[in-house]
Amino acid sequence: MKELKVLIVDDEIMAIEYLRDLIPWNEYGFAIVGEAINFSQALELFNKHRPQIIISDICMPGISGLELCKRILSIDPKVKILLLTAYKDFEYAKKAIELGVSNYLVKHEITEGMLLEILGRLKEEVEKENNTDSILKKHLIIDYIEGYNDTGNQNEVKWNDMENDSGEFILALFKEDVRYPVMGSDSEPVSIDACNELAQIYSDLPQGLTYIDCFHLRNKHVAILFSNDTIMSHGQFWNLFYPIAAKTQDLFQRMTGKTFSAVICHDRQRIRNITRLYKNALNTLKHTVFYGTGRIVDLQYFTPCTSEKGYMHELENRLKLIPEALKRTDSGKTGSIIDDIFSNIILPSRSLKLLRTACDELLSLLNAWCRNCSIEPVQYGNPDMTKVFDKCFTIKDISNAVRQIYKMKQDEVVDEKLGSYSQKVQNAIKYLYDNYRKPITVSDVAKTLDVSESYLSRIFRNETGKTVLEYLTIIRIEKAKRLLNKQVYKIYEVAEMVGYNTSQYFSQVFIKMTGMNPLEYRERGGQNG
């Protein structure tokens, strides 16, 4: 704590000198900021220095020390006053204590020990009150930041130090990166108390930039206030402040093991605009699902969604493609539609409402199909589902999670269908999946199963509704779609990888199955196929 300021008041110069030399004031945490010999001089010095402790003689010519006490206590009731009195003034001193004077000493009995004992007590009281005031002030400022302030609180919070500055104030809002609730409840950010550590980080700030304080908000976000009295361009400001914000991020991550996103904003107007600025920053942090985790975002360049109408129409059109792909248990097709929705509709829209709608509709369509297929719908309490959804921090994460859940459920339906087939047909299908890259004939499959071609063909068609070679073609084309979507292999390479000797014949079969050639399918991102 800083040294406590002391004002000595006595009409006798020798008495002032005696007190001044009685103890090593600075060694005990005190600093004498003024010496006065009368009421007016004392009042002037008090207004100038605002000392926490006043040592004053009761009896002075003109206006007495008691009147001085009354006046000062009316200005600041928290000031600690130590009165000096003589024996004959004992009753007078008692009245002074009743008015709020902290203590008194008999002048001719003052010793070093006595003075230090009383000063020590007064110091403890001041420190205790300061701590209480500091906590109260913090809570009031938090109320103000979050918009819970009322007229009374505005008067209690001392903004003078910040508002007298002709520069600007800076708000840095930090939030732990938590998963986006695709379904179920949202995850809770951790509380973090790093005020002491932050004070060390900010102890060597560039000239003109001042650390004000750190505030732990009700939503467990951390708000940090700075003041800046230098004039600079926005680019200069960003170059200056970005490294400071990055150091803060690193500190929070070391303390919690979690990543944090931040929004930096500043205002050249009054600090009382902080509520508006905070709400804008908070809204920006809600959109980090679009920006990615661990980012430092400049509020000035944040562009929220202005209209969802156009995007909503596009979303509805894409969602209409889902039921047919599910009906065909085409996981490659549904995966492509899902990727398209999130990358080409949700991401550019930057709309949380649209994101929520997309997640809800996709899961609703999937669950309706699951119920129709008599399999368990998607439920968050399911460990497999929880494991997938708990990794959703960004749009890409959400897209991958939804796509993965779709595939899990479609594979489950395929497995259910296989289970309804006879063992011979199941084995035949397994053989096709294991060997689709090779040239396959019905004879090859029949020999493996130790049955005749005619028998295999008959039971296979009766149970699946398709011939062996038709089923093989479906497998090959589905595998080809997945390879094409990867955007890695050339067309002829894909043809060879799925069992076709020539890319020309592969293209003919692909067109027949999908209505477009392989190149068109790739360029459209797997749509309409």
Give CA–CA dist 325/528, Å, rounded.
10
Q: Is the pTM of this model over 0.75?
A: no
Structural domain boundaries in the chain: 4-129, 161-301, 309-410, 421-523
Residue 153 burial (10 A CB sphere; 0-12, 13-18, 19+): middle
Give CA–CA dist 317/345, Å, rounded.
11
Give CA–CA dist 443/449, Å, rounded.
10
φ, ψ of residue 385 to 5 degrees: the values are -70, -45
Q: What one-character DSSP code corresponds to residue 191?
A: P
Which residues, at least 6 apart from 514, have a Cβ–Cβ distance to it below 8 Å?
477, 481, 521, 529
Report the CATH architecture of 421-523: Orthogonal Bundle (1.10)
Q: What is the pLDDT along the chain (529 residues), one digit of tens a residue?
A: 578 999 999 988 988 999 999 999 999 999 999 999 988 898 999 999 999 999 988 777 777 777 888 888 888 888 888 888 775 555 666 666 666 666 777 777 888 998 898 888 888 888 887 766 666 677 777 787 888 765 444 444 455 444 544 467 888 999 999 888 887 667 778 778 777 788 788 888 888 788 888 888 888 899 998 888 888 888 888 888 899 999 999 999 999 899 999 999 887 656 667 888 889 899 888 888 998 899 998 887 777 676 787 899 999 999 999 998 888 777 778 888 999 999 999 998 889 999 999 999 999 999 999 888 878 888 877 777 788 888 889 999 999 999 999 988 888 877 666 667 888 888 898 899 889 999 999 999 999 999 999 999 999 999 888 899 999 998 999 889 888 887 788 999 999 999 999 999 999 999 988 888 998 888 876 554 4
Tokens of 527: 């749509």
Give CA–CA dist 59/129, Å, rounded.
30
Which residues, at least 6 apart from 29, have a Cβ–Cβ distance to it below 8 Å?
1, 3, 4, 123
Tell me, which fold does domain 161-301 have in CATH?
A: Alpha-Beta Plaits (3.30.70)
Q: What one-character DSSP code corresponds to residue 86?
A: -
Give CA–CA dist 264/300, Å, rounded.
9
DSSP H helical ranges for 50-147: 65-75, 90-99, 112-146
CATH 3.40.50.2300 fits 4-129, yes or no: yes
Count of other CB atoms within 10 angstroms of residue 138? 16
Question: Which residue is it, tokens 């103000």?
Answer: 144
